Amino acid sequence: MTYQFDHRELRDVLGSFVTGVTVVTTVDGAGCHHGLTVNSFSSVSLDPPLVLWSQSNSSPSHPVFSKSGRFVINILAEDQVDLSNRFARSGPGKFANLVVDVGAYGLPILKDTSAWLACKLVSAIPGGDHTIFIGEVEQIQKATRKPLVFGGGKYLVADPHDMVPSPVEKSSNEGSFHAMRLGGRVMARLAAEFDQSFALAVWGSHGPTVMNWAPSLTSPRKTLPVGLVLPVTSTATGIAFTAHLPNSVTEPFVKAELASSSIEYWNAEVRAARARGLAMKLDNLSGGDSALSVPVVDASGHAILTITAVGDPDQFVPSFDGPLARALYAAGKSLSRRLGYVGEEQGACGTAEVVKSVD
């Protein structure tokens, strides 16, 4: 048959189907490790658990994979482009100076990937100039690392779609705009009263996102780019949100930022912030700022925005007690009430519970 497209055109069309990136590894009879970068990986069946990938028949490693009877699908993480390039090159030495784990049957398993699946080859089906290998999954492991993505001939990163509604069941968009309008006014008043810079943030698809800011009246003025996405675990804003959003919303961000050994300490920090109604960072990692943050919660008790006093550590030394902390706390409380929150009355700043636990 004559086709009305050439290889280039076909590749371009296929490239619009975006995939993850894997390195498929195996071991030969002599104990040597083999591997190649593969994006033709796909799931086939859950019961029994089957997956497939296809390999060019002209690949030098094709005979090894046809014979070895077992392979591991290593799903690369977003920072493993170098590893993908290393295994996309032909020739020996792909494993040189690379530390790998060795699994069952001596199979090499790459480190720090997003996930891996160890498989037994159950069928090798001819598919044009490729062979489709179907494997039964025998062992799996998943980490919290975000996967690397490939599409249109380029490496990409996976991020949630901005247009998808936030997983927090919060008030309508109109409600959010209303909250931001009110918050913006309060922030400007506080900036003038305390000669301090303030930022207003919402929880967007990528985590805490600066939507507005009010500079201090005199220098040094802080400039906070609108749209700036802040880390969750190392900013007062991130802590304030985590203390007043459902765990299911914040947990993926926290896990992506923190080693599991730090989670207990982090939970204690969040509990303290929830109890105080204020969150503080003395030396914020995203630029070395000091910050004090208050959540504004909607009728459901979820943080709809945060207002954060922010400044260079040598100019701004926040505390939980003092006029600024009290004014910020009171502003958060009064805004929350205006947005319909009718939680229990709180006592003095520093001791009270602002909202109920939302874990």
Q: Which is nearer to ligand FMN, 88 or 182 (CB)?
A: 88
Contact 188, 197 (CB under 8 A): no
Query: Least distance from C-beta 21 to ligand FMN, angstroms?
Result: 5
Our CB check for ligand FMN shows the closer of 60 and 340 to be: 60
Between the alpha carbon of residue 137 and those of residues 116, 134, 147, the distances in Å are 10, 10, 20
- Residue of 329, 51, 328, 338 lying closest to 179 (CA atoms): 338
CB of 62 to ligand FMN, least distance (A): 6
Q: How far is CA 332 from CA 95, 242, 255, 274, 326, in A?
A: 56, 16, 28, 13, 10
User: What does the block give as tokens for 169?
Assistant: 């069941």
From the CB of 53, what's the least distance to ligand FMN, in Å? 6
d(CA 107, CA 118): 8
Nearer to ligand FMN, 61 or 171 (CB): 61
Q: Supply the minimum distance, in Å, between the C-beta of residue 59 and ligand FMN.
A: 3
- Closer to ligand FMN by Cβ: residue 29 or 91: 91
Q: Please tell me whether the peptide bond between 160 and the residue prior to it is cis, using omega within 30 degrees of 0.
A: no
- What is the per-residue burial (b if ≥16 Cβ within 10 Å, else e) of 11-45? eeeeeeeebbbbbbbbbeeeeebbbbbbbbbeeee
Name the residues that contact ligand FMN, by CB under 6 A.
21, 36-40, 54-56, 59-61, 84, 88-90, 150
Q: Which is nearer to ligand FMN, 36 or 115 (CB)?
A: 36
State the minimum distance, in angstroms, from the CB of residue 152 to ligand FMN: 11
Token pair recorded at residue 250: 């914040």
Compute the radius of gyration of the chain from its Cα atoms.
26
Between 27 and 38, name the residue whose CB sits nearer to ligand FMN.
38
In the bound complex, what is the minimum distance in angstroms from residue 137's beta carbon to ligand FMN?
18
